[in-house]
Amino acid sequence: MTHRHRLNLAIAAALFASIAVVGCKKKEEPVATMPPPAEPAPAPTPPPAMPAPAAITVTSVTLGTAAGADKKIAAPLLVFTPKDKIIVSVATDGTASNVDVASRLVFQDGQTAGEMKQALNTTGAETTNFEFTNANPWPAGKYKAEVTVAGAPAQSVDFEVK
């Protein structure tokens, strides 16, 4: 073999080897890096404790113009005169400690005609009365006496002033 031929053969071999190496070379894969560990998040603050629901129920709502010594309405009414005192008698049962019981008179047009509340402390059956009077005669029309316990609707009674 001639020197030139060997040289060409060596160059061809080197060229082939470099092509093979370049062709086989793997692309560099990006290396995943882990971020430094984060500080642990503070524990979430629990929501403020809600007061326990009232453990009382309204057993009845009676309307009238006079109540006995036991606070019960002797002669229940659903129709009143414009000059009547309107007593909303609320009978409850259960246990309550400083729970608001409220009564509201609502006129047919949605206006509040009177509203009262009392804190109830009881461990059994109880009657709470709300006495509504009006310096002027009650307007004639349809009304509703709404009763709530701890702000939640309990019962309502429709009545009329004639």
Phi (first) and psi of residue 4, to 5 degrees:
-65, -40
| Residue 51: pLDDT over 50 | no
| Residue 38: pLDDT over 50 | yes
Better-scored residue on pLDDT, 155 or 27: 155
Residue 142, pLDDT score:
98
Residue 107, pLDDT score:
96
Identify the H or E element spanning 15.
Answer: helix 3-24
Which residues fall within 8 angstroms of residue 76, CB to CB, at 6 or more apart?
62, 63, 64
Domain ranges of the chain: 55-161
CATH of 55-161, one of 3.40.50.11740, 2.70.50.60, 2.30.33.40, 3.90.1420.10: 2.70.50.60
Better-scored residue on pLDDT, 99 or 20: 99
